[in-house]
Amino acid sequence: MDAGQQNYDPELSESFADALKPGTELLHGQFRIEKFLNAGGFGMTYLARDSLDRIVVIKECFPSSMCCRNDGKVMARSKQHQAEFDAVVKHFGAEARRLSKLQHPHIVGIHQVFEDNQTAYMALDFVRGRDLLDTIEDPRMKLHPRDVKQILLRVLEAIHYIHTNDVLHRDISPDNILIDGKGNPVLIDFGAAKEEATRASRALSALHVVKDGYSPHEFYIAGSNQDASSDLYSLGATFYHVLTGEAPPDSQARVSAIAADRPDPYKPVSGHFPQFEDAFLHAIDKALSVFPPDRIQSSREWIELVDTERRRSAAMQQAEMDRQIELSISRLVQETNKAVEADIKAHEEKSVAEKKEAQRLQKLAQEQARQRKKTLDELAMLDDAVFQEEQALAAEEAARRSAMNPNHDEIHGKKKRRSLLSRLLPFGLLRGTFRGNGPSDYL
Ligand SMILES: Nc1ncnc2c1ncn2[C@@H]1O[C@H](COP(=O)(O)OP(=O)(O)OP(=O)(O)O)[C@@H](O)[C@H]1O
Ligand SMILES: [Mg+2]
């Protein structure tokens, strides 16, 4: 079978006169058109070959409501359309360049963005397979609930990736999810995508395609707030279709019914598909809530609601992390206790050593005092002996002098004794102290 056979609709090809003919070369022969695949609001899709003869998909910016082709070149339908057409081409190129930076296994890869024929093009990876719409509409294809869940989780990963890069897809539907040969989903068709922060210009609003059943009600209102929950509404509608075989009632009809106090025409899937887990069904119903605050707010939230295995392994990982933290804490406590004990021991040893040193110094001081006292006592005793000797000598001298001249001798005797005391003054003082048995100031 020729590459891209499954994606090719010959009737459509013939009916689209403005499409590039097979064999047309683009970008100085770097790409050669093989087949027309489809036409949408923003452009035309072709199967082509690159200079290395590889199959690629080429998307051409061709907003047919405001342009036409003339001798291969794309031009505004009229002067009035020129500004709008230029804005759309500019937007197409900018989006393509931004999307070329997004790389994810479940998002179609962009090879190249270029300009030719006065319009913009992007060359995409060719995904060999069929889209989810074909798959669910083919009675020979029966998706197992396990496969459905796996497709959903993988698309959610891709949506999480684009949302964290501030891009909204805005056209999620079964025909924009391709399923490759291995059953892996690939999200395509970012033609309606925009950065969350940017306001759609008037030209883009005019082109803004809504898909009944898949678009949330805010997509019908120009300039309305659109966020992650808007894309998740469309994903809910896509999986509602997978389960029930048809898209849910369109959101405008639902809003009108609620406004008129009539019951919401939406029939929940919860409780009707026993082959799916309750959490899986409940998440689809929640994503499809009419009012944005009631919906699932992020892909992560949806993944956590649905992925029981991941939840289980996340819980186990958490438990393991808690156990590791507990272990680290108790190890830390033990180490701290050890350090504190070592500190206390070191402190005790230090104070014992200090006590010993104090005792040693005290003993030393006592010994010094004892030695000093001993020396002083000895000096005092010496002083006594000298004093007594002096006295004896003085008495002798006095006796001798009084025998000759009693008055003169007395005076000289006293003088002599004073001069001896003054020579031994410190000892004399000490002697006086020790004799009195009182404490000494010298100790
Ligand atoms: N990378 C691809 N690999 C294989 N087939 C593709 C690829 N891209 C697009 N197709 C096929 O071409 C069809 C149309 O492409 P796509 O969805 O990108 O544009 P669209 O819906 O026609 O236009 P618009 O961008 O205006 O919404 C798809 O439904 C799919 O069958
Ligand atoms: Mg499409």
Structure confidence at residue 440 (pLDDT)? 39
Dist CA 396 CA 417 (whole Å): 13
Q: How does DSSP classify residue 438?
A: P
Which residues are within 8 A (CB) of 346 and not within 5 positions of it... i.e. 6 or more apart? none
Q: Which fold has domain 129-187+210-306?
A: Transferase(Phosphotransferase); domain 1 (1.10.510)
CA 255 to CA 342: how far, in whole Å? 74
Q: Are 59 and 104 in contact (CB under 8 A)?
A: no
**Per-residue pLDDT, 321:** 85
| Number of residues that make up the chain | 443
Q: What residues are in contact with ligand 1 under a 6 Å CB criterion?
A: 7, 37-43, 45, 57, 59, 108, 124-127, 131, 171, 175-176, 178, 188-189, 191
Q: Whose CA is nearest to atom 16 of ligand 1?
A: 189
Separation of alpha carbons 205 and 221, rounded Å? 10
Long-range contacts of 263-268 (CB under 8 A, 24+ apart): 264/290, 266/290
Q: What is the pLDDT along the chain (443 residues), one digit of tens a residue?
A: 334 444 445 445 445 788 999 999 999 999 999 999 999 878 999 999 999 999 999 999 999 989 999 999 999 999 989 999 998 898 888 878 878 889 999 999 999 999 999 999 999 999 999 999 999 998 888 889 999 999 999 999 999 999 999 888 989 999 999 999 999 999 998 766 665 434 445 455 555 668 999 999 999 988 788 999 999 999 999 999 999 999 999 999 999 999 999 999 999 999 999 999 999 999 999 999 999 999 999 999 999 999 877 777 777 787 888 888 888 888 888 888 888 888 888 888 898 889 999 898 999 989 988 888 888 888 888 777 777 887 888 888 878 877 776 555 444 444 444 445 545 545 444 444 444 444 434 33
Token output for 132 = 């989810």
Contact, 240 vs 269, CB < 8 A?
yes
Question: What CATH fold (topology level) applies to the domain 1-127?
Answer: Phosphorylase Kinase; domain 1 (3.30.200)
Asked if residue 427 lies in contact with residue 382, where contact means CB atoms within 8 angstroms, the answer is yes
Residue in 66, 41, 87, 75 with CA at minimum distance from that of residue 201: 87
- DSSP codes joined into one string, 75-120: EESSHHHHHHHHHHHHHHHHHHHHHTT---TTBPPEEEEEEETTEE
DSSP 245-302: SSPPPPHHHHHHHHHTTPPP-----TTT-TTS-HHHHHHHHHHT-SSGGGS---HHHH
Q: Are strands 177-180 and 129-131 parallel, antiparallel or unpaired?
A: antiparallel
Q: Give, for 31, the enclosing helix (H) or strand (E).
A: strand 31-39
Predicted confidence at residue 128, as pLDDT, reads 94
C-alpha 224 to ligand 2 mean position (Å): 23
Q: Whose CA is nearest to atom 26 of ligand 1?
A: 40
- The residues that are catalytic are 171
Contacts of residue 429, Cβ cutoff 8 Å, sequence gap at least 6 = none
For residue 205, what pLDDT is reported?
55
What does the pLDDT read at residue 194? 60
Closest ligand to residue 190's CA: 1
Local structure of residue 28 (DSSP, 8 states): T
pLDDT score, position 135: 92
Residue to mutate, 6, 18, 35, 38, ligand 1, most ligand atoms under 8 Å from C-beta: 38
Measure 436 CA to ligand 2 centroid, in angstroms.
Answer: 125
Write down the pLDDT at residue 318: 79
Specify whether the CB–CB gap between 258 and 290 falls below 8 A: yes
